[in-house]
Structure 1
Amino acid sequence: LSRTYSSYRTKTPAPVGSLGPGWKMPADIRLQLRDNTLILSDNGGRSLYFEHLFPGEDGYSRSESLWLVRGGVLRLDEGHRLAALWQALPEELRLSPHRYLATNSPQGPWWLLGWCERVPEADEVLPAPLPPYRVLTGLVDRFGRTQTFHREAAGEFSGEITGVTDGAGRHFRLVLTTQAQRAEEARQQAISGGTEPSAFPDTLPGYTEYGRDNGIRLSAVWLTHDPEYPENLPAAPLVRYGWTPRGELAVVYDRSGKQVRSFTYDDKYRGRMVAHRHTGRPEIRYRYDSDGRVTEQLNPAGLSYTYQYEKD
């Protein structure tokens, strides 16, 4: 699972993802459907604006070299740069006008933007309307190989990704936790260790400068099925994540249980990273101006940088 961090705060943010404020994974890509505008929240924390698309139409972001295409046609125009890549998609995806697809290259892959199935409420009128947004449901490369994201249909993690199946048929389970569960775990660890429990709230503020926050975080990733080695699955998670009481990503552990990354955040601004460290290396620190822009990157064992900003 790749991840990227950005302290940039867009005016139209997508909800905070399972890696906490400021962090994004490819699975956090989200499309907001508004009356006359489509807003694609990419995995860099930015908002890309497109005009409303009719079935089979596409929009192009020159700044990000990214296409957004709405389904609903069997084929794109023969001269379209994405015509060949479009044919790699299953027919049902190409013909669905309710799905959107994005790519930054005629070589692929496609990011499939759809919706997650959910269990309707007992008194809900059916069929339920589609939501005013689309989330990443999978990837398709130019050879038609698919990576599928499995989202929970009901319960406290409804709509969240809890499983991934890759093109080789391997299945990965994503273990999620709520803020209340992490707080209880911290209390139990303090009791068992004979120490005073730290201040770990049971809930988080519902909104941050990085978007709405439901407090759900990724705690571990397990390999649960490998068709090549079905009897030789790892006995430990491939990766584990630790969290601050404010729901910020604090540490990353590899499959051996060794801590490989750590992160520090501003005491006042939740999610604003002020330092990070690779285990065994010096800590890199950041300073910000009053507008929340990085002005210095300080490396005690190497090059340090200063940044200046100008208006366009």
Structure 2
Amino acid sequence: MVVARGKKEVNKLFKLNLLVLFVLTFILISSTVVLADSVTCNSCSSCATAAGTANRVINLTGDISTMAGSCIGSVADNVVIDCKGFTIGGNDSGSNGIQETTVNNITIQNCIISNFTVYGITFSSGSNANILGNTFRYSTNGIRISNIQNSTIDNNLFEYNYRGITDGGSSSSSYNNITSNSFMNNSFLAISVSYGASISNLIWNNNFIDNNPGDDQVSINSDTNQFNLSTQGNFWSTYDGPYAGCYDDNSDFICDSDYTAEEGAIDYHPRVALAGNCVTPHDGLLLNYSTILCSGNYSLTDSDGSWGIINFSK
């Protein structure tokens, strides 16, 4: 009986020690976790101050602008700048919208960045930058990525700039993912990644529409940079139908032949229609050559009240 009672006491002591060890371990781990601080800003100066502190989310509460220099001149590590749809403006005199020498794990999203004389965003080195869901317009260059690696430029609109994206022509930027963007009416190049050491960038599912009229829309070092992921390439307004040599005999929305851009870069799966989501048929929908309709059964009513069912399938 004494031995049995001793075993119970040992088991209780073991469980108690195990619980204490677990609690101490949890406290130790929790003490090393950095929690993101969320702040707001409403001017270039207040946003620049906020962006200078690491590990925080910065939310704009209104449009901001500068008359000279950079609006946000420094961005610390692990920072998210969320414009919430507001504008960072340069008034045709500010040089850069957002500027940082070295970036590490930063995100810039939901911004309208316009009217800068040099760059909307410029990074000189670093990795893991995410530029998501922004609009770049009326600037000399939308984005400059110089010595930038392993970063993502996704779901942005570049319009009415001189260039959309550039590597600066003298510094390498490699292993970046440029996808689901639209480049429209940029007076020179949509993308210029021409420095010889810029390799293994993946450029796919983008729309290139009426950039650099009468000439190539991109200038890409063709060594190892790719214009398609698996069977998904890009849409080119200069190669979107039989008149340009793009045939789609199997109706898969992919041209049956390759598209060769400047400097020998090849898109092996150029799209017949705009890259993006399909459109569900609805009242008042206007169709054109680039509209992709979602598959399914839909009832259509004519103006005289007659109706029928039509099936859209790939």
Please indicate, yes or no, whether the TM-score normalized by the shorter chain is above 0.5: no
Q: Which has the larger radius of gyration?
A: 2
- Relative to the length of structure 2, the TM-score reads 0.26
- Relative to the length of structure 1, the TM-score reads 0.27
Q: Larger RCO: Structure 1 or Structure 2 (Cα < 8 Å, ≥ 6 residues apart)?
A: 1
Which structure dedicates a bigger proportion of its chain to helix? Answer: 2
